[in-house]
Structure 1
C-alpha cells in the first residue's frame, strides 16, 4: 500500500493559506516537522501526513491572535 503525503501546495489548499505563506512558515520554523523529506538536486521536498496537518491546524491560535504578548 502506498502512503500519500501532502506537499506544500496541498497543505496550503487544505488549511486555506497561500503557498507563499506556507513557505514562509517553513523558513520561520512555524510548521510541524515534515513526515518525509525527499532529497532532490534542486533541494528537499517536504511531505506531511494529512493527520499531521490537521493536528497542527487545530492547535493554531485564531486569526489576529497576538502570540507575542504575555499575560
Structure 2
C-alpha cells in the first residue's frame, strides 16, 4: 500500500502550492492549455513560486490575481486602440 504524498507547501507557512490542474481550474481552461503555456508561451503565465523537478508550482493568490486580469477568449493582442 502506498501513502499519498502531501501537496507541497510554501516554506514560510502552510500555504498550499498549485500545479497545472489547480491553475487550469481557477482560470477556466483545460490542463493541457496551461501545460502548453508553460512549455511554449511562459509569458502568458504568472511567475511560478518554484519549479519542482520540471513542473512549476504557483501560490494560489498569485494565480487568482493573474486569472482576474487575464484577457478573455478571443482577445486580440495585435490590434491597437486608434482613438488614443
Give TM-score scaled by structure 1 length: 0.80
Residue 34 (structure 1) aligned with residue 48 (structure 2): yes
Listed as ranges, the gaps of 5+ residues in structure 1 are none
Task: Name the structure 2 match of 1:59.
Answer: 69
Task: Name the structure 2 match of 1:47.
Answer: 57
The alignment yields a C-alpha RMSD, in angstroms, of 1.4
Greater gyration radius: 2
Question: Matched residue pairs, number?
Answer: 67
- Which structure carries more strand by proportion? 1
Q: Deviations over 1:2-37 (max 9, x none)?
A: 331000011112221101111121121211111111
Give TM-score scaled by structure 2 length: 0.69
Listed as ranges, the gaps of 5+ residues in structure 2 are 1-12
Runs of 4 or more off by more than 2 Å in structure 1? none
Q: Which structure's relative contact order is higher, taking Cα pairs within 8 Å and 6+ residues apart?
A: 1
